[in-house]
Structure 1
Amino acid sequence: AITIPNNQIRITQPGNYLLRVYDERDPDNTLVQARFGAADFSATVQATVSSRTDIDSNKSHQQLDISLDTRHVNVEDPFNDIKVVITQNGRHDNETIIAVPQRILGKDIVYEHMRQLIFPAGNEYRRFDISSVNYPGTGVERMIHDASIYNAVLHTDGPRSNESYLYDQTQHGRFLVRSTDTEHPDTEADYVLTHFTLDMPPIAGYDIFIDGDITSRTFGPSSRMIYNHASGCYEQSLLLKQGAYNYQYLAVPADRTEGETAPIEGDKHQTINEYTIKVYHRPKGTRFDRLIGVTSVTSGI
């Protein structure tokens, strides 16, 4: 699926890819890797999102309706050859995969009134800015310079599940590396040890994680909040490049791998969420899924 003429990479097939960088002297040791997809957009994807869902109305969920126009794709068996993958704000833990459509209308494949299309609404992401090491930015209580590395102590967070919805134009969990202390932030932005504190009692049966691109959307030791019985708070520290960051707290039940927004952030139907819909086609007799359509839809807009 990839050719390399004249030392240039050229993708020849639509689908998912993993780019891995390693030292040729030690090929088993991965230095950097990144996942990405390439689509041919042979299928047109249309989607809408509403807070009036099949399980509640203007309360704590959002529901999508999706239709695919496949007139330019030879789909012999829509009930077995097409797969739709939906992500909310780039999260992997609550990603939905739909293998069977709700109905077929000629060349249009329709997905609606299906439980897999309903997502907890969540809340707007929290934010902080450590673009400067000389003064505290948004969300930062204080900067500490009397150490071997810069330290940023963020304002103490609290649960928002019982608070009213408050709009904030966030970037759905993304971050931007930048520095006001140099003219070349791409190469000269410094590292800052950033300290998170969540003031709430321990939640029995749950682990608490920092979610967002800030932690690569993974639940692991570095993103897990540790409860400090002396302070009565959850705490964690991350070494981050200077920049502006979005994040949220997810509560993950001990026996599951999907995070919940309700216990800490709350689920507010007004929340602005970004949904990405990817459509894969695997004709009979082929060995991989072709990415034939991609679109994004944002709630409340």
Structure 2
Amino acid sequence: MAPLCSFGQVATNKAFNTNIRTVQLHKEGWAHSYPILTLNKNENLELSFDELDSDTKSYNYSIELCDANWEPSLLMESEYIIGNNQNPVLDYQFSFNTSIDYVHYNLKFPNDDFKIRYSGNYIIKIYEDFDVEHPVLTWRFMVVEQRVDIFPQVKYAVNAELRKAMQEISVTVQHPNFGISNPLQEVKMTIMQNQRSDNALENIQPQFIKNNELVYNYNRELMFEGGNEYRWLDIRSIRFQSDRIKDITFHDPFYHVEMVPDPILYDASYFFRNDFNGRYVVEVQEDRDPELEADYVMVHFNLPRSEPMVGGDIYVIGGLSNWEMNENSKMTYNFMTKTYELRMMLKQGFYNYMFAYKANDSRSATVAPFEGSHGQTENDYLIIMYYRGIGDNYDRIVGIRQTNSLKPTVN
């Protein structure tokens, strides 16, 4: 089979068909988990998505191994897959009593059709019939072989000027039972904040090398904006307005949810609030089966500002936008109302989101101009350890650890 992505092309979480919505990939039974499998353990991931249509499609799926930079691996699929790597998606159901018809698809893997032989970065690809070259959906996941112990610490920045707004990460990796001959060439680390890829720190090398221990304790290199707690949107009901909704109207074929204009929080004091760190949950208050009975509604976001920002664009980010900054999540400035506006079609549920500014020449975005940035904000961090030994031809993931700026480290 041909590679799912051409060489030099980075694999991303992307729906290529605009009718594909509400893509979720997580551990089976744990909706807010990272899509991570432990090699040779009896674990499964669950992929689900909706297609806005009244007819089913003949979908198939495959997976592909990528390197540490999410580019296609040089390995043949027969080297990292046991079994058949081209299989049908057979689990689907039709929406019930919704204004917008959709088909809900569900897939659990690995399964009886295939097993995964190696650790590393992977993508799963959904395509119609056997048209591998034209996917409707690609999504990232990871497989880890836990060979090293990772001990992260999230702390205030040492620098006094950055202390109020930034969070600094230090990491110690112990590997007494895993030989690493040349750490500067064989290992590299990635750190992600709240599932964001735009501001991820990648290809990090150890600062100090000790006996069976690698230390990453840089001064300014491993820092993130603290940001703020996420804003929320509650559209679990279209009969009753939650506290941040101004109006709900129906204009065939959609319910339209007009949100109360969002305040800019740049100068506001920090206030702790429990959130999902950008995630969302599909839920309906009046019905029993949200996967099939939740409706799709058009949500209108509003961010007042006296004048437009130049040199870049403003986006609504979070799980609701697949953490992507593209045309679907970009706001436009209305000169008549002096407001940034965005319409986004979302399935009923409870959502977290933020506003972010991305300069035209920048890879990463900043939330500080709209949300403020505070060193005490609660954030999730994911630390990923890649290893490619001398003579190896693929990148293994030999350790993953999730931690939180306010809570103890968890696996």
Q: Does 1:2 pair with 2:107?
A: no
Q: Which of 240, 246, 261 is equivalent to 2:352?
A: 246
Percent identity of the aligned residues? 29
Provide, for residues 35-89 of structure 1, a one-character-per-residue CA deviation record: whole Å limited to 9, x for no partner: 1001011111110111143464641111011011112222111111111100111
8 Å Cα contact 1:102/1:114 also seen in 2: no
Per the TM alignment, residue 146 of structure 1 is displaced from its structure 2 partner at its CA by: 4.2
Per the TM alignment, residue 168 of structure 1 is displaced from its structure 2 partner at its CA by: 0.9
Distance 2:286 2:136 in 1: 29
8 Å Cα contact 1:198/1:234 also seen in 2: yes
Distance 1:23 1:234 in 2: 37
Q: Does 1:299 pair with 2:405?
A: yes
Distance 1:239 1:42 in 2: 43
Q: Does 1:50 pair with 2:129?
A: no
Moved beyond 4 Å, runs of 4+ = none
Q: Does 1:223 pair with 2:329?
A: yes
Correspondence for 2:221:
116
Per the TM alignment, residue 98 of structure 1 is displaced from its structure 2 partner at its CA by: 3.8
After superposition, the CA RMSD in angstroms is 1.5
Query: Which has the higher mean CA deviation after the structures are superposed, 60-69 or 70-79?
Result: 70-79
Correspondence for 2:316:
210
Per the TM alignment, residue 22 of structure 1 is displaced from its structure 2 partner at its CA by: 1.1
Provide, for residues 209-253 of structure 1, a one-character-per-residue CA deviation record: whole Å limited to 9, x for no partner: 111111111111110010000110000011100000000011111
Per the TM alignment, residue 33 of structure 1 is displaced from its structure 2 partner at its CA by: 2.0
Name the SS of the counterpart of 2:370 in structure 1. coil
8 Å Cα contact 1:43/1:68 also seen in 2: yes
Matching residue's letter, 1:198: L
Matching residue's letter, 1:193: M
Question: How many residues in Structure 1 have an aligned counterpart in Structure 2?
Answer: 301
Q: Which of 62, 70, 74 is equivalent to 2:167?
A: 62
Name the SS of the counterpart of 1:214 in structure 2. helix
8 Å Cα contact 1:128/1:138 also seen in 2: no
Q: Does 1:97 pair with 2:202?
A: yes
Structure 1 segments unaligned to the other structure (5+ residues): none
Q: Using a 3 Å threshold, how does the CA distance of structure 1 residues 269 and 3 change in structure 2: closer, same or farther? A: same
Correspondence for 1:37:
142
Provide, for residues 144-179 of structure 1, a one-character-per-residue CA deviation record: whole Å limited to 9, x for no partner: 124321111111012111111111111111011111
Which structure 2 residues correspond to residues 157-176 of structure 1 after superposition, within 5 A? 157-176=262-281
Scaled by the length of structure 1, the TM-score of the pair is 0.95
Q: Does 1:151 pair with 2:230?
A: no
Structure 2 segments unaligned to the other structure (5+ residues): 1-79, 85-110
Provide, for residues 236-295 of structure 1, a one-character-per-residue CA deviation record: whole Å limited to 9, x for no partner: 011100000000011111211210122111111111111110000010111111011111
Q: With CA pairs under 8 Å and 6+ residues apart, which has the higher RCO, 1 or 2?
A: 1
Distance 2:155 2:144 in 1: 27
Provide, for residues 8-50 of structure 1, a one-character-per-residue CA deviation record: whole Å limited to 9, x for no partner: 2211111010110112343322122211001011111110111
Distance 2:130 2:395 in 1: 33
8 Å Cα contact 2:194/2:277 also seen in 1: yes
Which structure 2 residues correspond to residues 173-192 of structure 1 after superposition, within 5 A? 173-192=278-297
Q: Using a 3 Å threshold, how does the CA distance of structure 1 residues 138 and 70 change in structure 2: closer, same or farther? A: farther
Distance 1:146 1:224 in 2: 23
8 Å Cα contact 2:158/2:219 also seen in 1: no
Distance 1:165 1:7 in 2: 50
Per the TM alignment, residue 96 of structure 1 is displaced from its structure 2 partner at its CA by: 0.2
Query: Which has the higher mean CA deviation after the structures are superposed, 236-245 or 115-124?
Result: 115-124
Per the TM alignment, residue 113 of structure 1 is displaced from its structure 2 partner at its CA by: 2.2
Distance 1:37 1:241 in 2: 27
8 Å Cα contact 1:197/1:234 also seen in 2: yes
Distance 1:135 1:261 in 2: 31
